[in-house]
Structure 1
Amino acid sequence: MAFLANDPKILGLAFLGGIIPSLLWLWFWLKEDEENPEPKGLLALVFVMGMLAVVVVLPVQKFIQAHIGSSEGQLVLWAGAEEILKYLAVLIILFKTNHANEPIDWPIYLITAALGFAALENSLFLIKPLSVSGATVGLLTGQLRFLGSTLLHTVSSGTIGITIGISFYMDEFRRKWFLFVGFLVAIALHSAFNFFIIRNDGNDFLKVFAFLWVVTIIVMLLFEKVRRMSTN
């Protein structure tokens, strides 16, 4: 099995299966910001930083698993670690720049980082199914994960970005409060998704997926509100 995981063909298919859905989602969200688009190079850098956040979060999650006995506690802390690292990925790139100068910029950059994170996470997830079941079954498995995991990362980080965008013109205290609430909501969504998927080995996937789409629609509506704040 080990040699299959090192097969360049398997790794290539896993990478494509992970990154293509994320790029399609990214194209969708960037189309919503066509009036004053962000620099493509900067977005690419944020996307890559989101991917690198996966590498950083893995040992953090192993540490949590080794030191936290409660499975529910592990899920919450895992979700929190991922949301914080995706946020930090954006902060590192935007630090001391003036690119995030409109309310809509924060959702755009955070969603971009989230999609980079999802791309590598899904690629790593695909390696085993592709090795065991072959390309067709493996990629179908990946598309199911894409439908859930990629959407989850988008709405959770998008929620944080939207709270920053909504509070963009507020005083510092309220900006921090909105950011805190954004993180709480994002971590709660992320934890709930993981809990219900793991609890029944994915048997509740359709219910959870339907709920995610409801949340996605809400995020889209709020995203539009923030976009209008940027154009006024």
Structure 2
Amino acid sequence: MIDTILDLTQKYPFVLAFILGLLPALIWLWFWLKEDIHPEPAKMITLSFLGGMAAVLFVLPLQTIVYHYFKNQEFLSFALWSSIEEILKFVFVYFIAIKNKKVAEEPVDDIIYLIVSALGFVTFENTLFLMPAISGGDFFNVIVHGNLRFVGASLLHIMSSGAVGISLALAFYKTEKQKVQHIISGLIIAIVLHTAFNLFIINGVEKNLLLIFGTVWIGIVVLLLMFEKVKHIKKDIL
């Protein structure tokens, strides 16, 4: 029985990789959706999640081009990779949900949709990351890397996209020019956070991992505090 399961997972590695990539995202999705006192339509949540997954298909070839031309320039490569991911995550969900004010009708909605898109993105990213180990039957590394990405990559994408969402939410009742300024500033913050995380992970030694992940958790706490603040934004006080 066990041999049969192992054979199936190695024959169809994408299925198991997708399940393992999806489960953490569903946990985070449940957590953030329950924070929204006015739940978003299930259709738009699903589309935003799928939009985040679709963004990966556009990110990968662009990152390959960056690697080809800048592989010897570590900082620039990571900065460009992070920029590509954060911008495309935002663009996809912006046109799917955020642009439509009948759907994104209150400030907190911007944050929710961006986080949902980020979870879709990290689901597909984790799937692709886990596939080689599953194909090779290296289930120890599947478990180890799966847990690390659950804590690291998932939280990173939530934090970075959440930063864009917070910035946009704070400008929800402001002019279009101010909204654009907030989007740009939010993306810059997200790109800086994303780039810094990747550089620390690549160059950090094992003893620094706890500090790195601890810092990300602090970022999530700050995001939650800002999320609560955004809930109380009213048009008449801006």
- Residue 52 of structure 2 corresponds to residue 27 of structure 1: no
Within a 5 Å distance, the mapping from 1:1-232 to structure 2 comes to 7-8=11-12, 10-33=13-36, 35-68=37-70, 69-94=72-97, 95-96=99-100, 98-200=102-204, 204-229=208-233
Question: Aligned partners of 1:61 and 1:48: how far apart in 2?
Answer: 20
State the identity %. 40
Deviation by residue 1:29-77 (Cα, 9 ceiling, x = unmatched): 00011x3111001100110110111111000000111122411001001
Q: Is the 8 A contact 1:107 1:165 kept in 2?
A: yes
CA 1:155–1:102: 2 relative to 1, 3 Å: same
Q: What is the total number of aligned residue pairs between the two structures?
A: 228
| 1:72–1:195 CA contact under 8 A, matched in 2 | yes
- Structure-1-length-normalised TM-score: 0.91
Gaps of 5+ in 2: 1-6
1:196-232 CA deviation, whole Å, 9 max, x = no partner?
1111366632211000011111111001111222699
Q: Distance in 1 between matches of 2:68 and 2:207?
A: 27
Letter in 2 for 1:19: L
Q: Is the 8 A contact 1:110 1:157 kept in 2?
A: yes
CA RMSD of aligned residues (A): 2.1
Q: Structure 2 length as normaliser, TM-score?
A: 0.89
Distance in structure 2 (CA, Å) of the matches to 1:80 and 1:110: 16
Segments of 4+ moved more than 6 angstroms: 3-6
Task: Give the AA of the match of 2:230.
Answer: V
For residue 79 of structure 1, report the CA deviation from its aligned partner: 0.3
